[in-house]
Amino acid sequence: MKAFGYVKRHVNNDGLLELKEVTTQATPKNLRVIAALMLKAADTIESTEKGFSHIHLRDSWEQWRESYADIIITK
């Protein structure tokens, strides 16, 4: 699984970028894992509101590999 994007602007001096778009190259299985992560994040945000900081794909998926792009969802 890979992630690509076009830079819209630099957000901070640590290298964080705001992207114009995101392109994901993934298998159907990996896309389902990403979808499950997004649903989990949405449910967590709704149920905890102030307590939600962020969630990582790498922490939520046992088959995640270092060669994959990590997906981080924040509120």
Element (H, E) at 36: helix 28-48
Residue 41 lies in a domain: yes
Contact criterion met (CB below 8 Å) for 60 and 72: no
Q: Residue 75 domain-assigned? A: no
Question: 33 pLDDT band (50/70/90 cuts)?
Answer: very high
Report the predicted TM-score, pTM, of the whole model to 2 decimal places: 0.79
Residue 53 falls within a domain, yes or no?
yes
Residue 70 lies in a domain: no
Q: Are 38 and 75 in contact (CB under 8 A)?
A: no
What's the domain count of the chain? 1
pLDDT mean over 12-19: 92
- Distance (Å, whole) CA 64 – CA 25: 15
**Residue 11 belongs to some domain of the structure:** yes
Q: How far is CA 61 from CA 7, 12, 33, 35, in A?
A: 27, 29, 8, 12
Q: Would you say residue 74 lies in a domain?
A: no
Q: Is 73 a domain residue?
A: no
Range(s) of the domain holding residue 49: 2-65
